[in-house]
Amino acid sequence: MQAWWVPVLALIFAGACSYNKRVDAADTVASPSTPFVPPTPPVPDTTAPGNVTATLVVASNNTLQLSWVNPSDSDFKGTRIYWATSAVNLNNAGTRTLLCENCLPGLVHSGLANGSTYHYLFISYDYTGNAAAGVTTSGAPANTTASCPDAAATDCLQIASFNLEYFVSGFSGTNTVPQQDAKKTGAANVILNAGFDIVALQEVKDASVFTAWVSTNLGAGWGYTISSSGCDAKTAFIYKTALVTLTQVNELSVAPFNTGDWDGCLRRPLVGMFKSIATQRIFRLIDVHLKSGSDASSCATRQPQASNLSTYINDTNSVPTLLLGDMNDEVKAGVGICSSIDTLNALETNANLTILSKTPTMETGLFTNIPFSSTIDHLVVNGAFNAWVTPARSTFTADVVVHNNLNISDHQPVFLWMKLR
């Protein structure tokens, strides 16, 4: 007979029991994974840029000037120029000499012996370091300096700086039409009668009126370029197309010429690379109109502007350069617009530069209605350009532009003669 408590214990322990159930099911097949493929390494750039073209060697006394055209490859970085006294030495890396690394066309090689032949190798290269095979040329300096005794000499180019302040104010409509026409005619007559070949202009107010004035009043033989900066006081070049070619033009806008000292309506330097058609010599003109006004802030702004220009010319000193334009002050402290501060000190103290307009002739009787009897337009040259300059009158290397009280400038603009044509 079963004890009465056996089924009771079974009921009690039934709640504490656990059960395992097993379910059999087929595994789901996973999608195959994409095999890892390592990225294709970039194809190394082993393509050299093209060679330079249009190499030219222009001879003068103890000097050769080199010009060329760099290749148009998108990754072109620069050109190395080597020289030697023989073709054999030029082809040997151990006997040739590096003349210039990534310099500008118009490079002057000076201190050479007249009659001796000098050989040059131009090697263009890209940012990866690939170099072209190179192009060679040669030349011999000779003492065949052109004569430039006076303004009428056919061996000269005459270059002027001309601020057209009264001229442009007439274009703004503040004068009557006859007065405006008289100013246009007067300005053109001064330029044409003086025989100027290149003129750097400042305070060009209306671009459309300016371009019409060039074609109508100067004539078909004149070319021009005008700045985009400067608001209603732009800068410009005009030039005789039969004598020179404008090969390149730009406004300096990279550091330091993109700071507050040059922004807004301040005029950024307008740089033109010119080539004399007769001699093929290349030279650079920098047209400037420095900050105007005589207040302390204007004078203080002019100091860094002059310093920026001095540094820029030093950094690109291989190109014959003339800095010219309205610098809004004399070249010595205590004289001119800013009498309490020497705004142009950086240019005055730069040993690589010569200011030609420190002591020009003063025709004060011809400018009785202008506020500045001193010279504030200046001509500043580096050594390569200075070798071409000849005295404009007697012992003066710069002279004033006579405009006979025609109300077309409030300055005594300046000009020079140079041995280039």
Q: Is residue 227 a contact partner of residue 251, using CB atoms and an 8 Å limit?
A: yes
Chain-centroid distance, C-alpha 283: 11
Q: Is residue 224 a contact partner of residue 287, using CB atoms and an 8 Å limit?
A: no
- Select from 2.40.40.20, 3.40.50.300, 2.70.70.10, 2.60.40.10 the CATH code of 53-139: 2.60.40.10
Q: How far apart are CA 81 and CA 111, in angstroms?
A: 17
Q: What is the pTM of this model?
A: 0.81
Confidence band for 310, pLDDT divided at 50, 70 and 90: very high
Residue 3 has pLDDT above 90, yes or no: no
Least confident of 124-133, 134-143, 150-159: 150-159
Architecture of domain 157-418: 4-Layer Sandwich (3.60)
For the ranges 78-92, 325-339, 392-406, the one whose mean pLDDT is highest: 78-92
Q: Mean pLDDT throughout 295-320?
A: 93
pLDDT the model gives residue 322:
97
Q: Where are the domains of the chain?
A: 53-139, 157-418
Q: pLDDT higher for 276 or 2?
A: 276
Confidence band for 234, pLDDT divided at 50, 70 and 90: very high
Residue 167 has pLDDT above 90, yes or no: no
Q: How far apart are CA 145 and CA 136, in angstroms?
A: 26
- pLDDT, the chain, mean: 86
Q: Mean pLDDT throughout 220-236?
A: 93
Return the SS3 of 292.
coil
Least confident of 214-218, 260-264, 358-362: 358-362
pLDDT the model gives residue 24:
64
Q: Is residue 324 a contact partner of residue 287, using CB atoms and an 8 Å limit?
A: yes
The percent of residues above 90 in pLDDT, for the chain, comes to 51
Residue 2 has pLDDT above 60, yes or no: no
Instruction: Provide the β-strand partners of residue 366.
Output: none
Residue 41 has pLDDT above 70, yes or no: yes
- CA distances to 7, 10, 15, 158, 386 from 19, in Å: 20, 16, 11, 114, 109
Q: Is residue 405 a contact partner of residue 367, using CB atoms and an 8 Å limit?
A: yes
Count Cβ atoms below 10 Å from residue 194 Cβ, excluding itself.
18
Q: pLDDT higher for 13 or 307?
A: 307
Residue 17 has pLDDT above 70, yes or no: no
Residue 131 has pLDDT above 90, yes or no: yes
Instruction: Provide the β-strand partners of residue 65.
Output: 58, 108
Residue 27 has pLDDT above 70, yes or no: no
